[in-house]
Structure 1
């Protein structure tokens, strides 16, 4: 059974999971979103991050900021990657691996897919969250 704090966190994350990009309007809203993401990630087993960015530098900086904020070591070798065009970066926290591909869509943001063996209520894909949320 989920407690109220988890229900509220999931509700907030789901509010960002729509076709229209949602913008953060206040520092309080930003902190609530950060806390909600941290809570749900802490209850999960692992995650996939999908980052739609204007270039590889922005994508990897975003990934590193999210991983650091969520308590992961962000030792990712990105030295050889210099795509100066829109990209989609997918990162798997279980395998600590990434895949980078061209991206032609208009969205810019972070999708987080939550995996959990014993907490089915939180499983799902949430976002697009702001690229700069954890800067």
Structure 2
């Protein structure tokens, strides 16, 4: 998608792009241009949702919380992670973190699956956008914009 096409991205185009990303990460385009396009589409659709649930599958708790924090900041949320007391016993094990932006709360638990990435479930009444999208790269919002 060219720069001018990215500037005229519609909600329908954004949803279509988000639906490309799934558990099959081998066929995803992770070029700088595609990542920039993905960021824009995700933020556009999230802006139209009422709230989001984020699901993070990561190698460990630190990696998962870093990804969660970067997504929350990109989506316009602020959360103090230092106050959270329920964490998995072993910080080095693979982890699943679920965050609800309506309740502004999360839980984390050990995870035995092989998937890594972020799922974003758009919530609300607009059937054109509601749904679960991803797995998106853990570092989607950590990379610098072009």
Shift of 1:25: 3.2
Normalising to structure 2: TM-score of the pair?
0.83
2:79–2:104 contact (8 Å) kept in structure 1: no
Is residue 130 from structure 1 mapped to residue 118 from structure 2 by the alignment?
Answer: no
State the Cα deviation string for residues 77-113 of structure 1 (Å, max 9, x = none): 3665461100000000000110111100111100000
Equivalent residue number for residue 4 of structure 2: none
Question: Structure 2 stretches of 5 or more lacking a match?
Answer: 1-7
Alignment length, in residue pairs?
Answer: 131
Equivalent residue number for residue 15 of structure 2: 10
Match of 2:44 among 39, 45, 49: 39
State the Cα deviation string for residues 52-84 of structure 1 (Å, max 9, x = none): 000000000000000001111132236654611
Pairs within 5 Å for 1:110-125: 110-117=118-125, 119-125=126-132
2:51–2:101 contact (8 Å) kept in structure 1: yes
Shift of 1:23: 3.8
Normalising to structure 1: TM-score of the pair?
0.89
